[in-house]
Amino acid sequence: MPAFTRTLLQINIGAYILQMLLGNGMYAWFALWPGDWLAGGSPSLATLWQLLTYSFLHGSLTHLGLNMFALWMFGPAVEQRWGSRGMAQVYFTSVVTGALAQIVVGAALTHSNAPVVGASAGVFGLLLTFALLFPERRIVLLIPPIPLPARVFVAIYAAIELLLGVTGNVSGVAHFAHLGGLAGAGLIYLWRTQR
């Protein structure tokens, strides 16, 4: 397991244990509150930190487990190709662009100030990067168990997220944070390949 991937896994699991010990107080300080951003005024330093810190909190053990499974699946390949610095660039850029997308699009559509938590934007960024680096590598869906090339899998997944985000059929999921994570990864991929 490459170093940065392993560190991300450890931090996320450690943060979840802290959530269990400290309760919902972690949300007040470290979750992303999109409505607070839309309310106007200049963001405080704590609010700026939330653009990153929300990604280390999770709403449930299942939420944590799915994100960490995806990080474990796609992180090592990206880190082995781009190194720890490249992996950090794509992951954290995706986290921040995911937060901004949820603030600008998601919260504006839903008028919700529900807290946003989870590593999904960073994970979606890794998934797109994986698909761009290894487009023909097969990913097998769990249900139904159909192997798809990574590029096809990501395209289908992104289309589903966009549809769900626009229609609002699945509440409680920050679909635009996921899409923002894809956008962040695309920017880093273009920047790295243009250099």
Look at the block and give the residue holding tokens 């529900």.
Answer: 114
Distance (Å, whole) CA 58 – CA 54: 8
Distance (Å, whole) CA 125 – CA 89: 10
116-147: pLDDT as tens digits: 899 999 999 999 999 999 999 988 876 678 88
CA angle 110, 116, 122 (to 5 degrees): 115
Structure confidence at residue 57 (pLDDT):
94
Give the type of residue at 115. P
Structure confidence at residue 181 (pLDDT):
86
Domains of the chain: total: 1
Give the range of the structural domain holding residue 19, as residue numbers without chain letter.
Answer: 3-194
- Residue 93's CATH number: 1.20.1540.10
148-163: pLDDT as tens digits: 898 888 888 888 778 8
Compute mean pLDDT per 10 residues along the chain, 195 residues long, and list them: 95 94 85 78 68 93 92 94 94 94 77 84 92 89 80 85 72 77 87 83
